[in-house]
Structure 1
Amino acid sequence: MAGKLGIIAGSGPLPRQAAAACRDDGRPYFILGLDGETEAETLACGPSAMVRMGAIGTALDLLRRNGVEEVVMVGRVRRPGLAALRPDWTGTRLLARIGIRAAGDDGLLSAIVAELEREGFRVVGIDQILASLLIATGPLGRHRPDDVADTDIARGREVATALGRLDVGQGVVVQAGTILAIEAVEGTDAMLDRAAALRLPGPGGVLVKMKKPQQERRVDLPTIGEATVARAAAAGLSGIAVEAGGALVVDRAAVVAAADAAGLFLVGIPPLPAA
């Protein structure tokens, strides 16, 4: 039996799915919610507490007092500015230690993982708790990319990988070889809304999402769900391509059904070979 799992929960359904997986396995767990991010329905899924985002010392103390051995960080979290973060003494020391690395999401998340491990917790990825969420290589559902879409996927994979190396974002929208939009701090949904206004005449474009090459894969893997499909359809896209083995599909049956109904393809693609 694995040790007690601490679920550091952002927003969305994934923290609730992690809690359900623990219940199904008979594994003890504790949910640590983040003020302003975690929904009440997530906190109601089991033993839980809420903590302010910058209260790192309080968070570590809550995990220890509740007997947590392993930790998973899961769910969407809006990155706050330093003024809104209001770090406690432990958080201030962490930010001072990582310095410029806090300028990008990957550097900050990697530093948080390292801090948790320094405090004696084992950090695991959500794919280790819910392995079925990882997408495999190849298409899901009825629809397949055509030659135009395949060309856009190849272009998008290159651009998304380059953006990832710079710790900018994980997604890009490509239409007929033109980059319509790239993902930055606004997130995938807002990027898709923006791409809708930039759509060109002709066949619809493609959303491509790739894990950052240097990314700490235990946190912040690219994720798509029903809302992603709905926004991609509203933007007039022809399909979605995500990194096989490096991206998550939340509620796969519902996502595939939504893509089929919208006439969108959904496909897992391999990452670029390491340089």
Structure 2
Amino acid sequence: MKLHPDVQFKTQCESNAWEKLKQFTDARIALGRVGGSLPTRPALEFQLAHAQAKDAVLKALDVESMIRQLSEFQMSVLQIESCAVDKDLYLKRPDLGRELSEASRQLLSDYAQQHDEGYDVAIVAGDGLSARAIEDNAPYFIQQLHDACLTQGWSVAPLVLATGSRVALGDETAQILHAKMLVMLIGERPGLSSPDSMGIYFTWQAHKGCHDAMRNCISNVRPAGLSVTVAIQRLLGLMKKSAQLGLSGVQLKDEHEMTALSAEDTRPKRLF
């Protein structure tokens, strides 16, 4: 049997030559090493990020808190749910997250019958794959978007708060409410550095059966990503163009020039 000499690693922590690049990204680069292993700090930070991502997916949306916050903005709220009645079913059956429950469909239909004038804009906020993203970002975003829509002279439907939701759940919702434009806010799939990322999906004349090519998407809305100020500027640019052309999706290009790339988000930051 041939014996190999034991490899002896240095015990002190060695920094990485890419250290200066860490200021430009949340990606896990330049972690350094101790011997052949990660230093303790980045190893623990990875475990924390993984736990936060799991919590974001499994956490139930705090509907009561959301309604309480939105009531401060003098907004009426319709609460609906999909056919995915719990998280386990939601994760195993994506198709059920795209279908309104019968009770929710009836609730929306009853409201539409009492308010048959229709609307220019419907805003739907759904938990998606990160309820935390909606809780942290949606109330302030909705307030700013609502005011911006009224400034444009657009009528806005009552806010719809959806649980167990996939993106397509907003399509039938907007169709029932007779809304020309749908803004669907949803918690995005959390990465290991972004458990609080909210996505925005915009659709002109949304209806049940819409496909992804009919939507425009703005993603990574969060304090460490795309600010609410810039996201609303981009969204309003799309909405104005959509109202002129009567379309959305791949036929509608984001040509809006943003003027607030360095805008600060003044909302309190949530660290964990």
Q: What is the TM-score normalised by the length of structure 2?
A: 0.28
Larger Rg: 2
Q: What is the TM-score normalised by the length of structure 1?
A: 0.27
